[in-house]
A = this chain, B = another copy of it.
């Protein structure tokens, strides 16, 4: 084929099979968020560059899809949601009772080298809790992050949430003579402590009067006594029975400059130890974004779709759960088979009345061999087929799973019969 039918590098097409898997993920995200009392919001895909340059710092600003629009505006495809959320919350918070519990599912864009689990266009689930400083808000969000994984079928031992607290690092730094203004630069080094080689870490630590060993020791010796916030979060999670999904790990500091307190990341517990989600408290961000006009404490959490989908496809329990769900996503309740073309309009009328009654119904748009029609019915995962043939107005109703058949007299209402049959169990679906 001469033409390039592929999407841009780092972008994905979602034909129906792939889309169904996204839908499973999105519906799970939304269901758990709603159970927790979060309401959905959405922000524009395109924002002024200033909004995102103002806050993120670090890597993000180098990964922007940034351009000038026809009106000369400096704009970006949003690389994440937090700055947009801060803007919208600041503008509209007066219209909503506090705290705000808001969630979002949408696309973000980062110009990175595409690799496993990292693409240029991806979906992200965001849940944020605004207007509440208490660690109970952090606990609520961490519980949500655990329940998303549980709802996807991950069991204890398959995932772990690592808890940390930037305030513990603030205390550490102050005790070592590191200025509060240098905290972020220092934490950028800590952020890489498990990935960068020791020489590199030592070189970057040179401006600070702290050696690598004492940082490692501080991390190794961390416990509930290291942070009052973490203690409060753990007490709350213990009441929920969710503490068993967590561990304290001060090496988690999150790359972005805007975090202020408790931070956390969700990992798969396998050797790969990939981070599937993360978040934390960002009490100053809304004030920064609004130039001080609005001050709302906040804690938030985000999960992309790439790593979790990889993990889901590799983990037997969650994968089996997804496949069982997929089996139930019939595009059609009843397929109308046209056995006699002279009855096509009668068949179309039946299709229409099935749909009016709320059922999914499909049928062949042109004359088609009967066995091909039944194959099409199977492909829609339809449980039932009506056969419209020469004996019309008598109809046949076939149960495609049980391979049984009944005749419907002209007096029977096919809608009522189908409704009754759909309510009857007919054994497990064919796997």
Contacts and interface: CB of A to CB of B under 8 A. Distances in A.
Interface string A66-77: 011111010101
A366 interface: yes
Nearest to A367: B134
Contacts of A88: 5, 13, 15
Given A2-B291, A16-B41, A102-B16, A9 B71 contact: yes
Contact of A111 (B8, B41, B69, B143): B69
A430 interface: no
Given A290-B1, A290-B3, A365-B140, A376 B97 contact: yes
A180 interface: no
A77 B11 CA distance: 13
B39 A16 contact: yes
Interface residues of A, number: 98
Contacts of A36: 355, 360-362
Interface in A326-352: 331-332, 345-346, 348-349, 351-352
Looking at chain A's contact residues, the main secondary structure is mixed
A215 interface: no
Copies in the complex: 2
A257 to B, nearest CB: 19
A291 B8 CA distance: 18
Contacts of A46: 8, 11, 65, 77, 109, 121
A427 interface: no
A90 interface: yes
Contacts of A376: 97
B147 A355 contact: yes
Nearest to A54: B3
Given A13-B88, A67-B68, A360-B34, A8 B379 contact: no
Interface string A51-65: 000000000000001
B19 A42 contact: yes
B39 A331 contact: yes
Contacts of A290: 1, 3, 5
Contact of A40 (B2, B19, B70, B348): B19
Contact of A361 (B4, B37, B87): B37
16 contacts: A3-B290, A3-B293, A7-B43, A7-B87, A9-B71, A13-B42, A14-B43, A15-B92, A16-B40, A16-B96, A19-B41, A37-B380, A70-B111, A101-B362, A137-B365, A240-B352
